[in-house]
């Protein structure tokens, strides 16, 4: 990393010493990391067995080559118009997952659930709506 002096500095010789001098160590490391881009640091650190990964902004995630290659984001039709959502994370050759619908809007399935799961009829659902128990 170009900061060989740290290896011989007694303030960082042991884990306990590094913890005791954490603030100065972090300042030194931060200053050093700012001398290169992530793209420059990544291969250097990986070559030394240091696990590394970028922390991306949402726009960077959406444009990341791996996200595109895996088809991780899919467009679905929604009541608000087409929206991009995270697709199914599993990729199985025999049983491929698919996005059948977008997330429901508030109350979209209320009547269906009340009828099919609770056995309420239209009059009872209307009464609940008038009394403010369920939304309109």
Domains held by the chain: number: 3
pLDDT band, very low/low/confident/very high, at 129 (cuts 50, 70, 90): very high
Show the CA angle centred on residue 57, arms to residues 78 and 39, nearest 5°. Answer: 135
Predicted confidence at residue 116, as pLDDT, reads 97
The answer on 96 and 62 residing in a single domain is yes
The answer on 110 and 96 residing in a single domain is no
Residue 100 has pLDDT above 90, yes or no: no
pLDDT band, very low/low/confident/very high, at 98 (cuts 50, 70, 90): confident
Residue 88 has pLDDT above 80, yes or no: yes
Predicted confidence at residue 1, as pLDDT, reads 85
The answer on 66 and 40 residing in a single domain is no
The answer on 42 and 10 residing in a single domain is yes
Cβ-contact 43, 37 below 8 angstroms: no
The answer on 40 and 67 residing in a single domain is no
The answer on 92 and 65 residing in a single domain is yes
The answer on 82 and 60 residing in a single domain is yes
Q: Which residue range is the domain that position 112 belongs to?
A: 104-136
The answer on 116 and 92 residing in a single domain is no
Residue 80 has pLDDT above 90, yes or no: no
The answer on 126 and 94 residing in a single domain is no
Predicted confidence at residue 79, as pLDDT, reads 87
Taking alpha carbons only, the member of 87, 90, 57 closest to residue 73 is 87
Residue 136 has pLDDT above 80, yes or no: no
């Amino acid at each position: 990393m170009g900061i060989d002096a740290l290896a011989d500095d007694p303030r960082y010789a042991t884990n306990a010493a590094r913890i005791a001098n954490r603030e100065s160590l972090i300042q030194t490391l931060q200053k050093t990391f700012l001398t290169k881009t992530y793209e420059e640091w990544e291969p250097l650190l990986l070559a030394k067995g240091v696990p590394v990964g970028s922390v991306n902004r949402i726009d960077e995630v959406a444009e990341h080559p791996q996200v595109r290659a895996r088809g991780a984001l899919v467009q679905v039709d929604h009541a608000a118009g087409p929206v991009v959502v995270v697709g199914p994370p599993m990729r199985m050759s025999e049983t491929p997952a698919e996005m059948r619908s977008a997330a429901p809007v508030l109350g979209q399935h209320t009547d269906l659930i009340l009828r099919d799961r609770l056995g309420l009829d239209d009059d009872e659902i209307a009464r609940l709506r008038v009394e403010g128990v369920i939304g309109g």
